[in-house]
Amino acid sequence: MLKIKKIQASETWELRHQVMAPNRPFDSIKLAKDEMGLHFGLFKDDKLISVISLFIENDNAQFRKFATEISEQGKGYGSILLSYIIEESIKNNVKNLWCNARMTALSFYQKFDFKAVSETWMENEIEYIKMQRDL
Ligand SMILES: CC(C)(COP(=O)(O)OP(=O)(O)OC[C@H]1O[C@@H](n2cnc3c(N)ncnc32)[C@H](O)[C@@H]1OP(=O)(O)O)[C@@H](O)C(=O)NCCC(=O)NCCS
């Protein structure tokens, strides 16, 4: 059974670390602004398998640290969670939703109508591009 719930920032940290930065120190995946974000988790049979964090500033919102457990990737769970935070953003009167996307996720976000709006840049050997979508 699948369920999406609002969770605490601290509940996202383990998945963020495992999926996004397993070779870096645990604390590297914590965000200075974590306490100001809304955090959502997708649970499969009560096990947390995908997380995403949403930071709303007026009518503009950034989502960050989107991660699905490695063995559960490519099964549609990320799409369910991303669709949920798009709806959540609309409910919060967000007009512009954006993220700094890993280039490896570019085509995934394009399916959700996000458009690349920057040059690419490198950070910790990962290539990123800013993507955004009007809501
Ligand atoms: C990006 C991410 C959160 C998407 O979550 P997910 O649960 O894999 O998402 P979905 O299964 O709904 O969709 C994955 C899509 O990306 C592709 N994909 C990404 N990773 C994949 C994998 N390991 N295996 C298969 N397909 C993968 C597929 O093409 C799929 O597209 P489809 O809709 O045509 O099938 C997840 O792949 C992930 O955690 N990646 C590593 C961390 C990361 O890059 N985060 C995003 C930073 S911007």
Q: What is the pLDDT of residues 50-91, one digit of tens each?
A: 999 999 999 999 999 999 999 999 999 999 999 999 999 999
The yes/no answer on whether domain 2-97 falls in CATH 3.30.360.10 is no
Token pair for 76: 């549609």
Separation of alpha carbons 5 and 72, rounded Å? 18
Pocket residue to mutate for ligand 1, from 81, 108, 131, 132, most atoms within 8 A of Cβ: 108
Residue list, ligand 1 pocket, CB within 6 Å: 19-20, 50, 66-68, 73-79, 101-102, 104-105, 108
- Mind listing the pLDDT tens digit for each residue in 12-60? 999 999 999 999 999 999 999 999 999 999 999 999 999 999 999 999 9
Token pair for 60: 């503009």
> Closest Cα to atom 14, ligand 1: which residue?
74
Burial 15-31 (b: 16+ CB within 10 A, else e): bbbebbbeeeeeeebbb
> Among candidates 106, 110, 98, 104, which has minimal Cα distance to 125?
104
Cβ atoms of 102 and 53 within 8 Å: the answer is no
